[in-house]
Amino acid sequence: MKDQGGNARWVLAAALTVQFLVALDVSVVNVALPDMRDDLGFTPDGLQWVVGAYALTFGGLLMLGGRLGDIVGGRRLLAAGLALFGLASLAGGLVQSPGALIAARAAQGVGAAALAPVAFTLITVTYAAGPARSRALGMWGMAGAAGGALGVLAGGVLTDGAGWRAVMLVNVPIVLFALVATARAALPAARDRGPAPRLDAAGALLVTAGMSLLVLGVVRTESESWGSPATVLTLGGAAALLAAFVAVESRTRQPLLRPGLLGIRPVLGANVFSLLLSSAQFAAFYFCSLYMQQVLGYGASATGVAFLPFCAGVVAGSLIAARAVAAVGIRVLLTAGGLLGAVGLAGFAFTATPDGSFAYSILWPSLLCSVGIGMSFVPLGTAATADVVPGEAGMASGLLNSSRQIGGSLGLAVLVTVAGSVTASAAGPGTAALAQGYQAAYWVCAGLLTLGSLLAFALLPGAARTTPAGGPEAAPKKTRKNFRKNSGGDVDPAVSRSTQE
């Protein structure tokens, strides 16, 4: 389905809504946490699982979700994921106990793990390589950034105006619109030829358990130290399971994640950049919100409104990238966007002082950072699917989304520790000590994004040589040969159409 007509526009509407939805629910509950604690009687240790349960299931199941899109079809998985996400949101808005809310958030994460890879894959299989796909990927990036930023605004406004339950119930109309868009897209209901690929059950079990343990270990560092026995055992178990996953995948005819996929340099570069970008971006959102509330004294709604310039900057950066990518190539654009974002993060480190102001401490660093991040989304999406045969489009999408989610979780946990250590050792009043901790975290964020930009420059090709997923005939001969070799030669490339189901 390579047309740009009304059907493609409905596909894009569904993909963008899904991307906005899953990003929104990463941040929308943060401002509402105190009200949830008071109303439902959460303990201090239990409250973190309102956020952690979503991160755990979302991050743990992303690779499985991406591969299921290749196997059962994007249309079926999209509809099932939306239904689960909507029902979980409705249940979460009606719960009467802490355990029920945590369960609802975990179910949302399961739905998100099915939705996020499919949304990205639908764009790559719907739009042919060129300006139309670049614009669509730019809008996909904008939707994710807007969901994360507007989640803070929506959380504050909804909690102040209608109570914490509204932050769960607001998802229901968004899900309904996405279901309508999915139905209107008229995606094929079944593949028309070729055998269905088999699910790698052993790989799915190992990667799901390993990723879940990894996210669990990281989330628990908010209450357990990095050197505690619980953390060491959890992260050690995650490492062992993921090592076993790699070993199994190298011997499986139809793997969940073909090891050779990361041997494609643009794919490797995109995933390394995504990992480090999300580590910096998620932490920057977190510390910026805390700085405004705990140092500058902003309320919940004012903090959310202060994120609007970031949203505008992401839109501007994405528009710039969509127009420039054909002229300058993905390597230059990704590197330039990443370095500009790093300059913005360094700006936060300079200006996050106890006596700061919105114009000096928030506005100009937000604009620099957001324009740079927005410029990165178009080349990032293109590189992540470069030279990938269509039967592995969901696999590549699941990998990119996993890099983003795991990077965000790891980065936030590490940087919370950095900021806490600096604050604890700082001299002076409370707000001054907090500001010093946030400044230290911002410097690390800037360093991570700088490193990601340099690695992307080293790994990506110098010209617009990469071939986004579009058919085995569009991939280089070496890539097609490796695909047949690693897949056992029994996966018909036509099964890529299952991503459109």
| DSSP assignments along 203-271, one per residue | HHHHHHHHHHHHHHHHHGGGTS-TTSHHHHHHHHHHHHHHHHHHHHHTT-SS-SS-GGGGGSHHHHHHH
In this prediction, residues 200-211 reach a mean pLDDT of: 80
Beta-bridged to residue 386, according to DSSP, are 468
In this structure, what token pair is assigned to residue 210?
A: 């390993």
Distances (CA, A) of 420 to 104, 205, 276, 300, 423: 30, 36, 21, 22, 5
Listed in sequence order, the residues at least 6 apart from 230 whose beta carbon sits closer than 8 Å to its beta carbon are 220, 224
Q: Transcribe 302-353 into DSSP letters.
A: HHHHHTHHHHHHHHHHHHHHHHHHHHH-HHHHHHHHHHHHHHHHHHHHHH--
pLDDT of residue 101: 94
Mean pLDDT on 359-376 = 91
What are the pLDDT digits (tens) for 236-248?
A: 998 999 899 888 8
Distance CA 422, CA 293 (A): 19
The reply to whether the predicted model has a pTM over 0.95 is no
Tokens encoding 47: 């409250």
Q: What's the residue count for the chain?
A: 501
How far is residue 186's CA from residue 170's CA, in Å, rounded to a whole number? 26
The answer, yes or no, to whether residue 479 has pLDDT greater than 50, is no
Predicted confidence (pLDDT) per residue in 25-79, tens digit: 877 887 787 788 888 888 766 776 787 788 778 877 877 777 777 677 677 788 8
